[in-house]
Every structure is written in structure tokens, then in C-alpha cells.
Amino acid sequence: MSSSETQYQTIVVTGASGLVGSALKEVIATEPVDSSYGRRTGERWVFLRSSDGDLRDLAQTEAIFEKYKPVAVIHLAALVGGLFNNMKHNLTFMRDNILINDNVLWSAYKHDTKKVISCLSTCVFPDKVEYPLTETKIHSGPPHSSNFGYSHAKRLVDVQNRAYKDEFGCNFTSAIPTNVFGPYDNFDLEDSHVIPGLIHKCYLAKKNGTPFVVSGTGKPLRQFIYSFDLAKLFIWMLREYDSVEPLILSVGEDEELSIKEVADAIVKEVGFTGEYKFDTTKSDGQFRKPASNDKLQSLIGGYKFKPFDEALQHTVKWFIDNYDFARTGFESSAAAKGGRAQPKEPEATAPAGINAETTGGVHAAA
């Protein structure tokens, strides 16, 4: 690092080319400097993707920490997949995520990183548990068998955070988001989460003049968090939250939506007027698995989430505008040819005097 760079405090975001990381990059690029969710004067943010270093490899991970000497890390990188991918590859999901998380936390400790916020997920909670989910229930029973590899790897982060605190006094913690959606999501028809999968299906139904078929009865309820709200909550955690205890980041239990309500909203936003039906021969999954955001709201003082319809409108518009670049799972898409979606990058977030390529939310590899 050159001497002109050492005056800046570096925040590294791993997994920044994904759904959550892309939102974080855009929030940092667009919020005013020194505002609640903006970059602070004297900070530089480095946004990493897997081509900047494979975090499953300790040497590559250490090289990243040696290069940037981050004061804090928002650790989003993970092997993430839909239900069927998880079911087929539990060992891979477990090994990759254990390696990634262990290398990041160990390198952060060795390089004296002051704070790490890692990302868990509500799907790591026990299969049999009393609802609502709260932060204290993560380890109180085995996870669902379909994704036990991913779940155990993610739970281990919480165990590691406590061990790093006990043995070395580290300020490492974790966030637990519910279902995330937004631009830059994975819109694959087979291996995606419910909102991006339905948006893509509805878009194709409109384009091809075919029925829009939603799997299941449409009755199950879920909590959805918009990726830009989640990004702001990560920034708030970075500034304000210094406990090792995990924190659920979610809309409230009273904001659950049925899959039918979600599908209706997608039909409206896509402008689909054809046949629309539910395939009740398909499984519904669990009826509801509400998570409490009481702890978050009591600490932050009443965060106002973007209304679902507005967030969905933005997401659908992004998908249609960026169809050739989005992760659709189609070989013909630009994403399949060139990797992750690269449309409409937000402006660089470099403080004056710093090379935008190393700081500006594009590639860290300068």
C-alpha cells in the first residue's frame, strides 16, 4: 500500500458481486458522505468478488488482508444455492462455507481487523422450533435435513465468533437476514429463491404468451427484506453494533406476505394479463416460519423498511432492463458468457486522491 493510502481506514466487503453486496456497493456510492448510511470521511471501501481471491484458499485470503489491511470487514461471500442444489451438494456447501469463513476470520484476527460482521441466514435455525425465531434459538436443535451442510457451516460462524472473543477479545459478530430480494439476484428458473424465480417465470409467460404457473397453493407466508434495506442495516451494524450476539435483520412478523400476494404483485409489475394459476400438486413447504425483529427495532429505534410494492417495482424494472446481463441460468445470456452481471455500475466511492479502481466498488484487484 502506498503511503498516500495509509491515512484511510479501509472497509472490505467480501462477496460484493452478489445480491446483497451489490446493494451495499450502491448504497455506499449514492448516500451522502458522513450521512447515516454513507461512507465516512477518511474511509475507503473495497468491494471484492471471487476473481479477486478465492476465500476457500488461506494464502489467497491472507494476501487480501495483507494488501488492504482492513479495519473492518462485512463478510458476505458464501456458496449460496436454492433448495435442490443444497440437497444434492450438502458436503460441498458445508466444506466451501467452512473454509471461506474460517479463512476470513483467521486472517482478520491475524491482521488486527477491528470488526467483522458475517452473514448467517434464517434457514440455519432448527427444523423443529417454537416460533417466532429469535437470536437465542440458533443452536437449539438440528437444522432441516435439506440444507444441513450450509446450515452447520453458517452456525459455526457464531461459535467461532464467540471463541475469538473469549480467546483473543475480537469484535466479530453476525447478522441473520430473512429472505432477501432485489436487483442482481439469481433469477435462474430452477435454482433461485421464490421472488426472482417468479419474476423470471412471469416475464417469460408474458413474452411467450403462455400461462403463469405458481408452484403450490400460494398460501404459505414469508418475510422478505429488500437488499437495499439490508445493506443499510449492515452499515448501521458496522457503526453501532458491538456485541458478539447475532442479530436478526428482517421486517416485522406483522409484515409477512403470502406467496399469492407476492405473485399478484409480480403479475401487476410485469404487466402480465394472461392465464395465471397455482399448481396445487406441488409442495408448499412450511406454512410459515416467522422471525422476530424486536431486538433490531429496539436497538435501532424503529427502522422504516421500503414498502414491498415499491421494492418489487424497482426489482422487476431492473430485471427487465438488464435481462441480458442478469443471472438467468440461460447459456445465451451475457452473464453466462462473462460471469456476474455488470450493468450500470454505481459511481466509484473513492475519497479524493485514491485510485478509484482500488476503492470504487468495481474490482479490488488493482
Ligand X SMILES: NC(=O)c1ccc[n+]([C@@H]2O[C@H](COP(=O)([O-])OP(=O)(O)OC[C@H]3O[C@@H](n4cnc5c(N)ncnc54)[C@H](OP(=O)(O)O)[C@@H]3O)[C@@H](O)[C@H]2O)c1
Site residues (vs ligand X, CB under 6 A): 15-21, 49-51, 54-56, 76-80, 100, 119, 121, 177, 179-180, 186, 193, 340
Burial label for 158, CB within 10 Å (0-12, 13-18, 19+), is buried
The residues facing 181 across adjacent strands are 226
> What does the alpha-carbon distance between residue 224 and residue 118 come to, in Å, rounded to a whole number?
19
Closer Cβ to ligand X, 78 or 259, answer by number: 78
CB 23 within 8 A of CB 181: no
- The residues, ordered by sequence, that sit 6+ positions from 23 with a Cβ below 8 Å of its Cβ are 182, 183, 184, 227, 228, 230, 231
> What does the alpha-carbon distance between residue 327 and residue 188 come to, in Å, rounded to a whole number?
6
Closer Cβ to ligand X, 79 or 205, answer by number: 79
The residues facing 47 across adjacent strands are 13
Minimum Å gap between C-beta 195 and ligand X is 9
Minimum Å gap between C-beta 289 and ligand X is 13
Minimum Å gap between C-beta 34 and ligand X is 27
Helix, strand, or coil (residue 195): helix
- Read off the C-alpha cell for 12: 472490505
Q: Which residues are catalytic?
A: 150
CB 16 within 8 A of CB 48: yes
Nearest C-alpha neighbor of 265 from the set 312, 214, 320, 314: 312
Minimum Å gap between C-beta 149 and ligand X is 13
Minimum Å gap between C-beta 243 and ligand X is 19
> What does the alpha-carbon distance between residue 353 and residue 63 come to, in Å, rounded to a whole number?
24
> What does the alpha-carbon distance between residue 23 and residue 41 come to, in Å, rounded to a whole number?
21
Closer Cβ to ligand X, 78 or 326, answer by number: 78
Burial label for 170, CB within 10 Å (0-12, 13-18, 19+), is buried
Q: Give the nearest residue (CB) to ligand X.
A: 18
Closer Cβ to ligand X, 205 or 316, answer by number: 316
Closer Cβ to ligand X, 225 or 350, answer by number: 225
Closer Cβ to ligand X, 149 or 351, answer by number: 149
Q: What is the DSSP string of 216-265?
A: S-S--EE-EEEHHHHHHHHHHHHHH---SS-EEE---GGG-EEHHHHHHH
- Read off the C-alpha cell for 159: 461459535
Minimum Å gap between C-beta 174 and ligand X is 10
Answer positive or negative: Cα dihedral of 28, 33, 36, 39.
positive
Closer Cβ to ligand X, 8 or 224, answer by number: 224
Minimum Å gap between C-beta 185 and ligand X is 7
